[in-house]
Amino acid sequence: MKRSMMAATLGLLALGGCQKHADAPAAPTAEAGGTLVVTDARLVLPAVKGNPGAFYFTAAIPGKAATRLAGITIAGTGKAELHETVGSEMKPLDGVDFEPGQVVRFEPGGRHAMVFGIQPYVKAGSDLTVTFHLANGTASTQAKVEAAGEAMGAMPAMGMGAKDMSHMDMGHGK
């Protein structure tokens, strides 16, 4: 029964319309009172050194118990804060509730984690360990590190990649 629920959840994630990055590892699962299934985990480095980065992922709890994501710890960083973009405003979140079988996406323009204190040795192409702090335990996985330009190229909803933006006047230096 547990395997069939896991297979159903993974199928739901595949059909959910979230863009899958070819280099993103299919994250392992970990027991945390129910199983947390995480895919597409990626830390996007800031375009300007010293600024915060962003952490995105898709997760689900295929078990029968609801849980709450209280926080995230990412190796090689100082801290990660849960946020949500609402309209043009970014607001901090004190946690995110998960219902059994629910797929929750942390993506650009929505829920995400702002990542502060990224160590100089954290480079694009590497993997970092991420620990999810849940109301009923913890779960860990690996996340791919991406450069800021890679993230821009992966946002088809904007209709342009980073190279398409090179000619745009962003209002800097005026």
Which pLDDT value is given to residue 103?
Answer: 93
Query: Tokens for 56?
Result: 């995105």
Q: What is the mean pLDDT of residues 70-96?
A: 96
- For residue 102, what is the domain's CATH number? 2.60.40.1890
Q: What is the largest CA-CA distance in the chain?
A: 62
- Triad 15, 105, 3: Cα angle to 5°: 55
Domain extent, residue 97, equals: 2-148
- pLDDT exceeds cutoff 60 at 3: no
Does residue 172 fall inside a structural domain? no
Which pLDDT value is given to residue 62?
Answer: 81
Does residue 39 fall inside a structural domain? yes
Instruction: Report the C-alpha gap between 92 and 94 in whole angstroms.
Output: 7
Query: What is the total count of domains within the chain?
Result: 1
- pLDDT exceeds cutoff 60 at 67: yes
Global confidence as pTM: 0.70
Which pLDDT value is given to residue 142?
Answer: 96
Does residue 30 fall inside a structural domain? yes
- pLDDT exceeds cutoff 70 at 123: yes
Which pLDDT value is given to residue 151?
Answer: 52
Nearest alpha carbon to residue 45 among 108, 110, 111, 118: 118
The answer to whether 32 and 138 have CB atoms below 8 angstroms apart is yes
Span between the terminal Cα atoms of the chain, in Å: 62
The answer to whether 40 and 56 have CB atoms below 8 angstroms apart is yes
- pLDDT exceeds cutoff 80 at 25: no
Across 13-22, 42-51, 148-157, which has the greatest mean pLDDT?
Answer: 42-51
Between the alpha carbon of residue 121 and those of residues 34, 76, 77, 146, the distances in Å are 34, 8, 10, 13
Q: What is the mean pLDDT of residues 28-35?
A: 47
Does residue 101 fall inside a structural domain? yes
Question: Torsion-angle region of residue 76: left (phi > 0), alpha (psi -120 to 50) or beta?
Answer: left
